[in-house]
Amino acid sequence: MKYLHLDQPAQFLKGVGPKRAEALVSVGIGTARDALYHVPRRYDDASTVTPIGSLEVGVDATCLGQVRSKGVIPTRKGLRVFQAVLQDDSGMITVAWPGQPWLERKIREGDTLLVQGPVRFFHGRQIQPREFTVLGREGDATPDGGTIFVTYPASEAVPQWVLRGIFEKNLDQLIGWADEDEFLSPEGRARLGMPPLSSALTWMHRPETLADPEGGRRRLAFDELFFLQVLQALIRTRQAEAQPGIAHTRTNSYVRPLYGTLPFDLTEAQARVLREIYADMESDARMNRLVQGDVGSGKTVVALFSMLLAVEGGSQAALMAPTELLAEQHARTLRAMVEPLGLEVALLTGSRSAADRRAALGGLAAGRLRLVVGTHALIQDGVTFERLGLVVVDEQHRFGVRQRMALAEGRERAPDVLIMSATPIPRSLAMALYGELDLSLLDELPPGRTPVTTALRRSDARASVHAFVDAEVESGRQAYIVYPLVSESDKIDLRAATEEYEWLSSEVFPHRRLGLLHGQLGADEKDAIMRSFLAGDVDILVATTVIEVGIDVANASVMVIEHAERFGLSQLHQLRGRVGRGAAASHCILIADPGDGAAERLKVLRDTADGFEVARADLAIRGQGDFFGAQQHGRDPQLRFADLLRDEDLLLVAREEARELAATDPELARPEHEGIRRQLHGRYRERLEMYGVG
Ligand code: ADP
Ligand code: MG
């Protein structure tokens, strides 16, 4: 392989010895390439920096100057304040860091400092920095009209001024090497409207205007999205090639009759998604499709129609649910719909009796049973099918890629896979996370639903909320009261919830039947409690865990969520989806106090019932890192430059390019794709190995 300067260890950069090289690791710089891509995190120029002479009390400002004097000043209350006097051409100001005397050792006289914070009056003007940066030691320039000051992500071990020094000495060289990573031809760049990589990086490290960094960022964002999509496109083609799928043939022996017996018409969205699924199933390429639908959008019927197509064509179909309870619920629903057609539905879960299990296994192996619902028990050893043609996975977020792949192992033809997700995420995010899957959107709810009314209440209104819950229970309904539990091991939260439960049982609802559900209960105990709630033997279910996704208790009409500010919006939306499943008007009551800083966020929920909109708001508020975090694959990189909400256009273009590439050169064997191949491996080594691609 060609020798690349960018691959050399950072130690070979000018001004970096073995010690400093070690320190650089703390800011993520191990190689010359890492340094090149270590771009500033903020930019200031004369338009954002206020001359010290014009700083006004009461404003929040950024200023820049040199430290003229400094010292630690004790106050009467025993607080030690580090102070520095900062000077530029226009004047001087005191900068104060209460309670941070150790800064004495970090900041020296002569340092050039960039500080941001509120200006107040305290023995004269004073600024108390929220953030500050030592831009340089001993007399660097102060800003003039054309200068832009960059602030790099720094660390204790590698302060700002050190990084600036390193870039001062090495940036020209590094930018010169950027061409080693350039994988777009001049024609490609022109077609995509992208600058050369070297320009993009120059704009980010040494912008001439404040608009430059954004131009550079878009190129780096494109690159990230492109490689992610190439990875996924290759996985798609590789999977398709490795194993042919099944071309199901439609005879209408079950599908048509089901249409006839359904008590409702399919929604437009259901019909569209089914067409997409049928097209996949009828082709002999393997289906890998993700159906995203809001709570209550009718995914189960879609699953059933898909399963019936498989059965008509002579295959067996399996529906896999994340919990026993859900599996049982699905089995009941499916049985009600297919028994009139003369079809049987087997149920396979861990807790079935040995005899039941043997019977189901025998029926599946012999092919007498064509439809089966179950938990993970379905894909365990000892389960064999006569001819498995379709696997539907409900609630995909509990089901890993590996398990999905395991399904195909040992079979001559890979069964089609359909994944149902009840957690809508914005399309761009779905494409980034699940680019190897095809996407279908169930973006419409069946008609005639009474929407759930959502209300925000302060904690001092709790008594009236409880009175409301009591009235609903009095009229025969059931209710949920949910407490946050940040992690399953959070003892304090758990105790709080348990105490609340005891208080609710003895003081507030002594005349009602209450149940408590939390994550430290065993699966059996949880199931037992859910079952008694389902049977109506519990009036009010107090829960700390997210109540089983997808569980349908039609009689529950109230969802009260305590400390709503501690939940994510999508999570709240999911919880809200647990009510409004029956005929009764339902209510979701979010309890949070204004001081909790969540009012704005919670209003999104009050004002929209659309899960996709909620997800978008959630993504905007929480940031994509949170979403990606949950899906991390080993040491694979996060998206650093791409912003999935802002860059949806880039993502679409990148996806096109990537799929085109995977279709024309699936091995990336052509010489002109050598650079792409190399970078792909640099970025996604682990995942490529996991899928056996590349
Ligand atoms: P989810 O997408 O949350 O899994 P379900 O499949 O459980 O939703 O469907 C929710 C309810 O809507 C079920 O009671 C189902 O029978 C009903 N339903 C599904 N499709 C339609 C339709 N097209 N018209 C009316 N009701 C429907
Ligand atoms: Mg469902």
What is the distance in A from the centroid of ligand 2 to the CA of 497?
28
- Which string of b and e fits 71-97 if b means at least 16 CB within 10 Å? eeeeeeeeeebbbbbbbbeeebbbbbb
* Residues 392 and 372: beta-carbon distance below 8 Å: no
pLDDT per position as a tens digit, 382-421: 788 999 999 999 875 555 666 666 766 777 788 999 999 8
Candidate from 274, 297, 300 with most ligand 1 atoms within 8 A of CB, to mutate: 300
Widest Cα–Cα separation across the chain? 90
Q: Work out which ligand 1 atom sits closest to the CA atom of 270.
A: 23
Pick the CATH number of 452-608 from 3.10.20.600, 3.90.1150.10, 3.40.1440.60, 3.40.50.300: 3.40.50.300
Q: 324-338 and 299-312 are packed helices; what angle lies between their axes, rounded to 10 degrees?
A: 60
d(CA 421, CA 594): 33
User: 551 CB under 6 A from ligand 1?
Assistant: no
Between the CA atoms of 679, 683, 689 and 691, what dihedral angle is there, to the nearest 10 degrees? -100
For residue 632, pLDDT over 60 is answered with no
Q: Kindly report the protein residue whose alpha carbon is nearest to atom 25 of ligand 1.
A: 446
Per-residue pLDDT at 636: 47
- Judged by DSSP in three states, 228 sits in helix
Containing 515, the helix (H) or strand (E) segment is strand 514-517
In this structure, of 308-312, 415-419, 609-613, 688-692, the range with the lowest mean pLDDT score is: 688-692
Give SS3 for 151: strand
In this model, does residue 233 exceed pLDDT 50?
yes
Q: Hey, whose CA ends up nearest to atom 24 of ligand 1?
A: 446
What are the tens digits of pLDDT across the range 62-78? 999 999 999 998 887 88
Number of helices (H) and strands (E), helices first, in the chain? 22, 21
Evaluate if residue 633 carries a pLDDT over 50.
no
User: What are 120's strand-pairing partners?
Assistant: 126
Residue 673 clears pLDDT 70, i.e. is over it: yes
Distance 116 CA to ligand 2 centre (A): 50
CA atoms within 13 A on the CB side of 570: 21
Structure confidence at residue 634 (pLDDT): 41
264 lines ligand 1 (CB under 6 A): yes
Q: What is the DSSP letter of 137?
A: S
647/428 Cα distance (integer angstroms):
8
Distances (CA, A) of 353 to 345, 348, 356, 523, 678: 17, 10, 5, 17, 54
Nearest protein CA to atom 16 of ligand 1, as residue:
298
Which one of the ligands is nearest to 574 CA?
1
Residue 442 alpha carbon, nearest atom of ligand 1:
2
Most confidently modeled range among 150-164, 461-475, 538-552 = 461-475
Cβ-contact 246, 453 below 8 angstroms: no
Mean predicted confidence (pLDDT) in 357-369: 93
User: pLDDT at residue 197 above 60?
Assistant: yes
Same fold flag, 255-283+296-421 and 452-608: yes
Confidence of residue 435 (pLDDT cuts 50, 70, 90): confident
Supply the pLDDT for residue 548: 61
Q: What is the percent of the chain with per-residue pLDDT over 70, rounded to a whole number?
A: 91
Average pLDDT over residues 176-205: 96
pLDDT (0 to 100) of residue 397 = 55
Cα(304) to centroid of ligand 1, in Å?
Answer: 12
Mean pLDDT, all residues of the chain: 87
Residue 422 beta carbon below 6 angstroms from any ligand 1 atom:
yes
* Cα distances (angstroms) measured from residue 203 to each of 58, 197, 646, 649: 34, 10, 20, 21
To test the pocket of ligand 1, the residue of 297, 330, 396 to mutate (highest count of ligand atoms within 8 Å of its CB) is 297
Per the DSSP assignment, residues forming a β-bridge with 560 are 481, 589
Range scoring the smallest mean pLDDT among 233-247, 301-315, 468-482: 233-247
Percent of the chain residues topping a pLDDT of 90: 52
Take residue 201 and report the two structure tokens written for it: 């990086």
- Packed helices 197-205 and 160-177: angle between N→C axes, nearest 10 degrees: 160
DSSP H or E segment with residue 74: strand 60-74
Separation of alpha carbons 633 and 391, rounded Å: 24
Class of domain 255-283+296-421: alpha beta
**Tokens 């349908």 appear where?**
552
Q: Are strands 540-543 and 148-151 parallel, antiparallel or unpaired?
A: unpaired
Q: What average pLDDT does this structure show over 160-187?
A: 93
How does pLDDT run across 83-97, given as a tens digit for each residue? 999 999 999 999 999
**What's the confidence (pLDDT) of residue 544?**
81
pLDDT at 306: 98
List of residues 6+ apart from 691 with CB closer than 8 A: 235, 238, 239, 405
Q: Is the CB of 257 under 6 A from ligand 1?
A: no
Q: What is the pLDDT of residues 42-52, one digit of tens each?
A: 898 877 889 99
Ordered strands of the 316-320 beta sheet: 345-348, 371-374, 316-320, 388-394, 416-421, 288-293, 438-442
Tokens of 547: 């109540």
Residue 676: name the closest of 639, 633, 688 by CA: 688
Tokens of 374: 């179950």
Say which amino acid occupies 674.
E
Tens-place pLDDT, residues 252-306: 999 999 999 999 999 999 999 999 999 999 998 889 899 998 888 899 999 999 9
Question: For 127-144, what is each residue's pLDDT tens digit?
Answer: 998 888 887 776 555 545
Domain residue spans in the chain? 42-147, 255-283+296-421, 452-608
pLDDT tens by residue, 139-169:
555 545 457 888 899 888 998 888 988 999 9
Closest CA to 319 of 412, 219, 389: 389
Atom 13 of ligand 1: nearest residue by CA position: 298
Residue 248 pLDDT: 96
pTM recorded for the entire structure? 0.75
| CB-CB contact of 665 with 208 (8 Å) | no
Cα of 691 vs centre of ligand 1, distance in Å, is 35
42-147: CATH topology is: OB fold (Dihydrolipoamide Acetyltransferase, E2P) (2.40.50)
Q: Which atom of ligand 1 is nearest to the CA of 394?
A: 4
Residue 621: predicted pLDDT: 79
- 300 in contact with ligand 1, CB cutoff 6 A: yes
Determine the pLDDT at residue 595: 72
Rounded Cα distance between 82 and 102, Å, is 8
Crossing angle of helices 324-338/523-534, nearest 10°?
40
Q: What is the pLDDT of residue 546?
A: 57
- What mean pLDDT do residues 245-250 have? 93
